Structure formats: structure tokens, C-alpha cells
Amino acid sequence: VKVFLGERLIEAAQARIPPEDRGFLLGDGVFETFGVKAGQARDVPAHLERLRAGLSALGFHPALSDADLEAALAETIAANGVETGSARLTLSRGPGPRGLVPPEPSTPTLLITAQPRTGAPPGPAKAAIATVTRRNEHSPLARLKTLNYLDSVLALNEARAKGADEALLLNTAGRLACASAANLYLVISGQAVTPPVVEGVLPGTVRRHLLDGGEATERALFPADAAQASEAFLTSSAGVRAVVAVDGRPVGDGRPGPVFERIAAAFG
Amino acid sequence: VKVFLGERLIEAAQARIPPEDRGFLLGDGVFETFGVKAGQARDVPAHLERLRAGLSALGFHPALSDADLEAALAETIAANGVETGSARLTLSRGPGPRGLVPPEPSTPTLLITAQPRTGAPPGPAKAAIATVTRRNEHSPLARLKTLNYLDSVLALNEARAKGADEALLLNTAGRLACASAANLYLVISGQAVTPPVVEGVLPGTVRRHLLDGGEATERALFPADAAQASEAFLTSSAGVRAVVAVDGRPVGDGRPGPVFERIAAAFG
């Protein structure tokens, strides 16, 4: 297994993140996960655009162009022989002294890994609405893909402890925001609807395709809407996944439905 | 410089966090920062109690007793010859496969660093109330010291860009919660008051001493309260710091006051 660290590919076993890296100490960084098909990362421009938005919000920038990042990504995927799977590009602010004040200039840490898909894609999900935590729509971090991922970890752990496969997170206003690492859609009156990003939602790349293509529209969603929906599903760079139950109650007839099937065929 | 990593002290330059560590990838871990005086970490039992609370919330546990952790901490402080300064103990969930689901069992990563204090303690702070983000009192993370520290980094960066020294964070309800890495107190009618932890506040170790000793009481605080306060100050394991202005307006007479002086003398 090889990883791209800093400026080159190296053996994963030799890759070293220094203990003063702010990614490790403070979660001070951003990442993107790319789907890989036919040996190619998908939706690279959209992912890099979101990565740049995150870097701007955090206020640090690597001395690497998008073309540099794309080349490093392709190199990592090829070196690991990944045909179908995923790749993750992480950029932390790099090493810093004690405390919160970032060094100026920073020397960001770039890490890229690539993994083949192992096993079959996950089947339909039973979801549980997280009670342990809520997504903070008052923070820009809710709309960025940063290394601060603990709320999602807590929510997913709670869901799994309840026997569910996925967590749905409410925002602080009590409305539905998203799953632990995916956008959420309910099908209401035949139309797939998903919460707007102001609700504390990551602007996903597949979500963008669905909105641009008229396959979904934006609307604030309440937990009670899940009971009215004929279908529910999730999208992420990992694909499209049906949600067949929420908190133990079936969504629609409790099976993946036609809207999910159509979208999964196009974007899965 | 030596750091304690895993089970032993090593040269910092040789310390390696593996790139699959969930601390680096997801901010999946907790930490404590200890004040060091006369070569001794202060308030160790209180810090370790809070650390254990964080580990319980996250659901992983190192195979190390509090006595083991305390011994490693003392060893790190001694090896670096730190008389006056600080030490940081970080515990991440350790390496994991791709995705959010934690490995079972996990193999947590322990990192301890110790630094002498450099320069004089910081003087009185001019604070700015963060507008870029808010603290999420609906998440247990607001009451734990985890590696998800980006909201504080964003708030402090905003404050510094405005020419202030510190950030004050509001919770999602718009009430005052804390500073970027310290508890906040306003002195109102001669009494130091600080928001209760349900407001999204870390239960600080110095804060505990002040409450237990009757030096401070808990009360929800609104931004407008800062204009009524005769003094404001912050506490953390780094010490006690006066806040002499908020958003450009002086607090009280704009100088450190008698309540601050008394508490700084006792806990600084």
C-alpha cells in the first residue's frame, strides 16, 4: 500500500504524521473522499472546489494547484491499482506550536490514500435519528468537510448500538439535516426533497447533480416528514443507498422504491 | 525535545503518528492540557476525570490506568526539564479502516508533550464576540475536550483579524458560552458569574475550584451583560486572564479589577 504524503508516494508503513501536526491536535484541516471507477477519481473539479472553499474558511492554502492535486490523486490511485473503490485527500494546516494560534505561514500536510472496494456495496439501511448530538447549522463547519467529524462518529455509534445501520442527524432547530456522512432525501408526493445547506448540510457532489438535473429539490424537512415519505435515500461519493426504516418504522412499504432505483442507476 | 508516544519516551523528531490514525483523519480523540509548576503537573485527578468522561462518551478506553497516565506525564515533564509551563496528553482512538465505524477493539494512541513557558504570561485581553461560528450546546462535544477544535480556531482567527486578542463564543441560543479555550466570567454586582455547562461550556478545572470555593456562581449570560459587568476574566489551565474590552467597548473601567486580581493571585 502506497500513500501520497507531502510531495511524493511512499509506502504507507513509512508514512509519518508529525505529532505537532494541527490535523492530529485540533482537527485543523479538510478532506475529500472521491469515488473511483475504472481507475479514475470521479467529480474531481467539484470536490476540489469544495476543498478550496474549506481552505478559504480555515485560512490556509497549500502551494499546490488543482492540477497538482489531481495529478497526485491519479498517481496514488494508479500506484495502488485501484479500479473500483475510493480515494481520500486530506489537507491539514500542518505542524504548529502549542495553542490555537496558527503559524504564519503554515506548511500544510497533504495525505492521499486510495482503497479498492471490498465486498458488495452496502444494502438498504435502517436509520435511527441521533439523540446524542445535533448538527450545528450555526457553524460554517456544517457546510464544509473538515477533520472535525466526531458528531457524526457519535451519531453513528448510537445508531449501531440501537441495531440500525445509519444515523440521521437533526440540526439544533430540530429539523433533519443529513446522515452521518451522506446527504438525505425524502420522496414526498413523488418528488425527492433534501434540506438546503443553511440547515447545516454539506453540499454533496451527487446532491449537486440531483439538484441541477431536476431530480431533487430543496426544502426544510421535519422528523415527522419521514412518516409521510414514500421513500428515503442517501447520496455520497460512495454511492446511493436506500433508507427503508427510520427509528424502527418502515419508510413507505419498507423496500427500496422506484425513485431510489432510478437515481441509483444513474449515480450509483 | 522528548515526547511520550505509545508506551515510551522518544525523541520528538522520531515520533510518528500513522496516517490511518483516526485522531488525524476524524479528530477522533480527547486531550487535556495541564499547567506545570515547580516541575509538577497541576490538578491531575480533575484532568484525568474529565479525560475519562470524554473517553466514555467516545466509547474507547486505553489499557492504561490513571496511575500509568500520571507516571507517563511526570516522566515527560521531567525528561524535558520543564519547571514552569504546560503539558498536553492526547488520546486518539488510534488507527482505523476507511469510514466512520470504529474498529473493535481499538488501539488508542497516547501522545504526551511538555513545554516550558516562553516569555511573560499574556496580559489583559481585548475580546471580540465571534460572528463566524457558534458553540453547539446540543452536542456533548461542547462539554468535552476533544480533538474537534476548529470552531475555536475559527473564532480566534476572526478575533485576531479584528485586532482583538481573544474570542468569546455564543451558543446557538445566542448566549455567552466561553472563550476560545477558556471559561468566561463576568463580575456583576460584585459577584463573578459564569455560564452553566448546559450552555455548551467545558467544565474547566479552575472553574471547578472557583465554584467550589464560592468565588463564582453559575448563571446564563447574555452579550448585553458584558456592558453591565464591572470586570470580565477567563480561566484555564494556563492561568487567569483579565478581559478589559469586548467588541471595542471597555469592560468596567477598562482595566483589570479587584476580583480578577484576587483570583489571579490564588489560581494564576
Measured in angstroms, the CA of B92 and the nearest CA of chain A are apart by 9
Residue A138 contacts residue B150 (beta carbons within 8 Å): no
The 10s digit of each residue's pLDDT in A92-127 is 999 999 999 999 999 999 999 999 998 888 899 999
Contact B134 A132 (CB under 8 A): no
Regarding beta strands B239-246 and B249-250, do their DSSP bridges make them parallel or antiparallel, or are they unpaired? antiparallel
Residue B115 has its nearest CB partner, among A27, A98, A102, at A98
Nearest CA in chain A to B3: A19
Contacts of A99 in chain B (CB under 8 A): 181
Contacts of B86 in chain A (CB under 8 A): 98
Contact A90 B25 (CB under 8 A): yes
Q: What pLDDT score was predicted for residue B46? A: 97
Residue B150 has its nearest CB partner, among A132, A141, A172, at A141
Measured in angstroms, the CA of A124 and the nearest CA of chain B are apart by 17
Q: CB count, 10 Å around CB of A203?
A: 17
| Range B238-256 average pLDDT | 97
Contacts of B60 in chain A (CB under 8 A): none
Residue A109 contacts residue A123 (beta carbons within 8 Å): no
Q: What is the DSSP code (8-state) at residue B51? A: H
Q: What pLDDT score was predicted for residue A158? A: 98
Position B41 pLDDT exceeds 80: yes
Position A248 pLDDT exceeds 90: yes
Q: What is the mean pLDDT of chain A?
A: 97
Contact B17 A12 (CB under 8 A): no
Nearest CA in chain B to A28: B150
Give the separation between CA A22 and CA B59, rounded to whole angstroms.
23
Give the separation between CA B134 and CA A112, rounded to whole angstroms.
31
Instruction: Give the whole-number percent of chain B exceeding pLDDT 90.
Output: 97
Q: What pLDDT score was predicted for residue A118? A: 87
The 10s digit of each residue's pLDDT in B147-201 is 999 999 999 999 999 999 999 999 999 999 999 999 999 999 999 999 999 999 9
Residue B148 has its nearest CB partner, among A57, A150, A180, at A150
Measured in angstroms, the CA of A193 and the nearest CA of chain B are apart by 25
Residue in the block written with cell 482503497: A115
Give the separation between CA B87 and CA B82, rounded to whole angstroms.
9
Contact A28 B180 (CB under 8 A): no
Contacts of B147 in chain A (CB under 8 A): 24-27, 150
Residues with Cβ within 8 Å of residue B133, at least 6 apart in sequence = A136, A138, A139, A140, A141, B151, B154, B155, B169
- Considering only CA atoms, which of A134, A116, A132, A106 is closest in space to residue A38? A116
Q: What is the ipTM of this complex?
A: 0.97
Residues with Cβ within 8 Å of residue A115, at least 6 apart in sequence = A80, A82, A85, A86, A87, B98
Position A268 pLDDT exceeds 90: no
CA distance from start to end of chain B: 26
Orientation angle between helical segments A150-161 and B44-58, nearest 10 degrees: 60
Nearest CA in chain A to B22: A24
Choose, out of A4, A9, A25, A86, the residue to mutate when testing the contact with B (most B CBs < 10 Å): A25
Position B138 pLDDT exceeds 90: yes
Bond from prior residue into A102 cis (ω within 30 degrees of 0): no
Q: At residue B247, what is the residue type?
A: D
Position A34 pLDDT exceeds 80: yes
Position B268 pLDDT exceeds 90: no
Q: What pLDDT score was predicted for residue B121? A: 83
Nearest CA in chain A to B18: A16
The 10s digit of each residue's pLDDT in B49-89 is 999 999 999 999 999 999 999 999 999 999 999 999 999 99
Residue A187 contacts residue A215 (beta carbons within 8 Å): no
The 10s digit of each residue's pLDDT in A137-195 is 999 999 999 999 999 999 999 999 999 999 999 999 999 999 999 999 999 999 999 99
Q: What is the DSSP code (8-state) at residue B151? A: H
| Range A62-71 average pLDDT | 97
Nearest CA in chain B to A32: B25
